[in-house]
Structure 1
Amino acid sequence: MDMPHQVLGQMLQRKFDHDIRRHYFRGMEFAEPAGDPGWFGPGSAVWHVHSHTEALIFGLQCAAYIERLDPSIYWMGMHHSRLVKRDEQGNAIPVIDPKGAAVRLGHSIAFFIGTAYGNTETAERVSRAVRSMHHTIKGTRPDGATYDADDPDWLRWNYATVVWGIATAHEIYHPNPLRGKKLDRYYGEFVRVGHALGGTDLPATKAETLECLHSYLPRLALTHGAAMATGSNLPMPQSAVDWAIRDTMPKWAKQLIGHTDPNPIERAARRATVWSIINGLHTAAGTSIEFRQAQARVADGTTCAHTEPTYVLGSDPQLARDEVEHSFA
């Protein structure tokens, strides 16, 4: 790596340390105990896919975009999330709060790195934190429909958006992407994470995931949040990022928001530009510390092929939101 790339890499690592790692990776263990493969381990598709942190983060944005097409998820965010700004009375304003968005992204990155590369106890711990928060998210939409983040049908949909977003971003923007049956290994392995969050009857291949997403179409709509986050009037570079996210969506989802793919040549050129940016950042930053620590943890072999999530549906204690945040701070 030449000197400019070394300097940029050091800057990116310092920023990740300052903004993400020191706040959201507390209490996680990646280096010990020796021989513990965690939930996946060496040779797994998950280790390969999540090792490209920049593509992983982009994939999470893709998932979040599809999620906003579900009115229940939109109102979950308005009622319970710090993603949006609030007035003096605490009522949600449909405008993204940059600080809240940064916190949400930090927790998401920590969760998908922790479950991929953390030891068994770390994977269990971060999953328990997310489950506990889900238990507090229940309410009623303005149209009278109720929502519950523990609802198995909702969990299945939410799981499908996440695995689709990450896997599709990997297919398009990873320099050595898994395809076909190898990519289906990722879908199959990742089910462990969905089960740990309380999901049941989860899709385990790319085709099953697409079918699951499409089956939810009658319940979807162009929510206010999705409408505000798209469109040709967005400023650069936001519009370029927005296009790349919409480009990963299934055809029916693009139709729902009025997105039309450009001609194949222009589409390839746009993807090449985004590919260069994502992989340029990855080349400069290098492989994450957590991945390298996990590799060293099992360098002399593993104690088993992998461990499985131990969560049993309904076994969590019921905690208030402030209790959850205090427990996992």
Structure 2
Amino acid sequence: MPRANLIAARFERSFDNDIRSKFFKKLEFDGPEGDPGWFGPDSAVWYVHSHLPTLILGLVGAAYIEGLDPSISWMGHDHSRLVQRVDGVATGNIDPEGAAVRLAHSVSFFIGTAYGSTATAERLARTVRAMHHTVKGTRPDGLAYDADDPEWLRWNYATVVWGLATAHERYHARPLRGADLDRYYAEFVRVGEALGGTDLPASKAEVAECLESYLPRLAVTPIRAFNTGPNLRGNGIPPWEPGSQFMDWAARDMLPRWAQRLCLYQEPNRLALRFRRSALWLALNGLHEATGPLPEFRQAQARVAAGTTSEPVLSTAPTVPDPELTRDQIEAAV
């Protein structure tokens, strides 16, 4: 078997065992017949999210820029499984198992909201909103944080759509550009609205402006610094996996210039830069070509093959208050 096929087979086994079997169990993609879901087959979202390797890279990049907000860093430190804990005390290191769970939840959310039935997308959004309701606290400097804060939701939304769209534009073999890419930004607003966001940017230019407008409140905290750059050397994570030194470089290389300066990113010489980007482009697209379209994507296509029974939703903003749930109750529901 050619090496590319061996790598693809290993990736598919890993995805099935570590993500699909655990985090896709309650998601519906093959019915109801004719249900377009939130976006439908002609949407830019269906096209962008069908390329799983760039989707994952986009989430890595989004997580990086998101963490430049100190409040986000402390939310993760205090509430997330990302942080390694010994006897309940955070060590400052990433918990690899927790990081894998966080990534798996993110992948299932953005695949489920893209290709799942309307009911599936709505349930995923309710679950994430419920989790956000539990993330409240105070930073060591005395400033309060709240994951339901509209300003935080707007920042979080902008970082995610920026990450997914930027990874797509740079590393997809046939990326959307111009007005077509702006259509993706505009469609994706439905995801942000479903999580409680308001006044969300809806184009590439608006997202860039939104991100830069937060610059006065951003900083590289010790939490962020401990888990990037030279501090990742020798951590044993394979180069193509999230958390590796190479993928950390790829995330920082995608950042806007002002964010690169903030995190002291030093661009390699032109030859090395071209080689690294080309190697990553080849790896991501080679993996995508070898594995083929996601089964969930194919199931959604089959669901609407005979046509759709309704138009995709235009607004996903919640209309009724969410019930209060504990973290254990939330996790039991997913």
> In which range does the TM-score fall when normalised by the shorter chain?
over 0.9
Over residues 243-294 of structure 1, what are the superposed CA-to-partner deviations in whole Å (9 max), with x where a residue is unaligned?
2111110110000011132344432222101111111221222111000000
Kindly state the Cα deviation for residue 11 of structure 1 after the two structures are TM-superposed: 3.0
Amino acid at match of 1:276: L
Tell me, yes or no, if the aligned pair for 2:191 and 2:316 is still in contact at 8 Å: no
Amino acid at match of 2:149: D
> After alignment, is 131-140 or 302-311 more displaced?
302-311
Whole-angstrom distance in 2 between the partners of 1:266 and 1:256: 22
Tell me, yes or no, if the aligned pair for 1:39 and 1:123 is still in contact at 8 Å: yes
Whole-angstrom distance in 2 between the partners of 1:85 and 1:163: 28
- Give the aligned partner of residue 25 of structure 2: 26
Over residues 183-203 of structure 1, what are the superposed CA-to-partner deviations in whole Å (9 max), with x where a residue is unaligned?
000000000000000000000
TM-score w.r.t. length of structure 1? 0.95
Q: How does 1:86-125 map to 2 (within 5 A)?
A: 86-88=85-87, 90-125=88-123
- Give the aligned partner of residue 63 of structure 2: 64
- Give the aligned partner of residue 159 of structure 1: 157
Q: Relative to 1, partners in 2 of residues 1:240 and 1:312: Cα closer, same or farther, differing over 3 Å?
A: closer
Over residues 155-190 of structure 1, what are the superposed CA-to-partner deviations in whole Å (9 max), with x where a residue is unaligned?
000000000000000011100001111100000000
Whole-angstrom distance in 1 between the partners of 2:319 and 2:277: 41
TM-score w.r.t. length of structure 2? 0.93
- Give the aligned partner of residue 221 of structure 2: 223
Tell me, yes or no, if the aligned pair for 2:190 and 2:317 is still in contact at 8 Å: no
- Give the aligned partner of residue 256 of structure 1: 262
Whole-angstrom distance in 2 between the partners of 1:266 and 1:313: 51
Amino acid at match of 1:277: A
- Give the aligned partner of residue 74 of structure 2: 75
Whole-angstrom distance in 2 between the partners of 1:165 and 1:98: 21
Tell me, yes or no, if the aligned pair for 1:124 and 1:309 is still in contact at 8 Å: no
Tell me, yes or no, if the aligned pair for 1:39 and 1:309 is still in contact at 8 Å: no
Kindly state the Cα deviation for residue 314 of structure 1 after the two structures are TM-superposed: 5.9
Kindly state the Cα deviation for residue 303 of structure 1 after the two structures are TM-superposed: 1.4
- Give the aligned partner of residue 305 of structure 2: 299
Q: Secondary structure at the match of 1:128?
A: helix
- Aligned-pair identity in percent equals 61
Gaps of 5+ in 2: none
Q: How does 1:1-329 map to 2 (within 5 A)?
A: 4-88=3-87, 90-232=88-230, 234-235=232-233, 237=239, 238-308=244-314, 310-312=316-318, 315-326=321-332, 328-329=333-334
Q: Secondary structure at the match of 1:139?
A: strand
Q: Relative to 1, partners in 2 of residues 1:248 and 1:141: Cα closer, same or farther, differing over 3 Å?
A: same
Kindly state the Cα deviation for residue 307 of structure 1 after the two structures are TM-superposed: 2.3
Q: Secondary structure at the match of 1:300?
A: coil
Over residues 88-112 of structure 1, what are the superposed CA-to-partner deviations in whole Å (9 max), with x where a residue is unaligned?
1x12221000111111011000000
> After alignment, is 280-289 or 114-123 more displaced?
280-289
Amino acid at match of 1:22: S
Aligned residues: 326
Gaps of 5+ in 1: none
Q: Secondary structure at the match of 1:290?
A: helix
Q: Secondary structure at the match of 2:137?
A: strand
Kindly state the Cα deviation for residue 20 of structure 1 after the two structures are TM-superposed: 0.3
Whole-angstrom distance in 2 between the partners of 1:72 and 1:221: 10
Tell me, yes or no, if the aligned pair for 1:198 and 1:313 is still in contact at 8 Å: no
Amino acid at match of 2:198: T
Q: Secondary structure at the match of 2:229?
A: coil
Tell me, yes or no, if the aligned pair for 1:85 and 1:94 is still in contact at 8 Å: yes
Q: Relative to 1, partners in 2 of residues 1:125 and 1:247: Cα closer, same or farther, differing over 3 Å?
A: same
Amino acid at match of 2:118: T
Kindly state the Cα deviation for residue 51 of structure 1 after the two structures are TM-superposed: 0.3
Q: Secondary structure at the match of 2:155?
A: helix
